[in-house]
Structure 1
Amino acid sequence: MSVQGGNQTIRELKIMDALNIFGMLTANRISDFSGVAESTVNNKLKEMEEIGLVELSPASTPLKKQWMLTAFGQAASRTFKENNYPYFMIVPENFSESNREKYNKIYEALLMDWHTFEEVRKISKSTKMEAKMFLRYIQYRYNLEEGLSHKKIKYKIFREE
């Protein structure tokens, strides 16, 4: 990782946070969620691969490269997370504008009531993949509960009082 300047390092840490949350992502998905420009993400991924922080996932293809943290990258991410996490964690304000709007609709709906996956998709007008990613993000950041109602899994965010 670059130690040239704070912004450089923060970009790399945001990339690592996105990969930590979602497991494996393409460069454009990392960009969508981290707020780092896709061209910068591509450059940073190459640098991070060279020093062993990230690698191509087994699901990667020549046309669709999917990246994931290595064991070393996971350890580095944990270390930064323990010490300075609020400064580089990805937050909805980092999301692309369309993703932020979709996320906000899902978040607000799940704060109010239980919803199935299909309801989440309809509320936010998301694709299946987007809805899965938003739910994964919410699960990672908040207290997302799952329940069974009429043989359907439903989700709701519970706030800790």
Structure 2
Amino acid sequence: MSSKVTPESEDWRARLLSTPEQIDHVLAQVKRVAVIGIKPKDVGGPAHTVPAYMQQVGYDIVPVPVYYPEVTEILGAPVHRSLATIDPPADMVQLFRRSEDVPKHIDEILAAEPSVVWMQLGIRNDEAAERFARAGMWVVQDRCTYVELKRAKR
């Protein structure tokens, strides 16, 4: 995957990914994933099981929970409270947040400059997606990484 492009050199809409081939390509390129909204194991749900599966198949998961201030580690990795503290930075930011909460994270994600922003199944914010795409990021909305990885047999 190429790095950042300017909106003038490429239509930003081309950075909104939806086909299985595009998604497979992204998932093959990404190695380190910051998960905003990840949940601890005792809370469970998709915001824990999906990143756990991703870790199991080889992704480096960086937990960025929104709640649970007492938690210092998730999936054996230290918790970060901001994308700015992640070093080395993540290739992809994965969002487990309600669609209406996505705007709260736009500036932080833009500052972190990941190659990919992935909004999990049921999460869609077209305004945020446009901002990320115009900044040169690849964007996936309303898709489950677990489902996509299983489909690709990973």
TM tier, shorter chain? under 0.3
Q: Of the two, which has the highest radius of gyration?
A: 1
State the structure with bigger RCO (CA 8 A, min sep 6), 1 or 2: 2
TM-score, normalisation: structure 2: 0.27
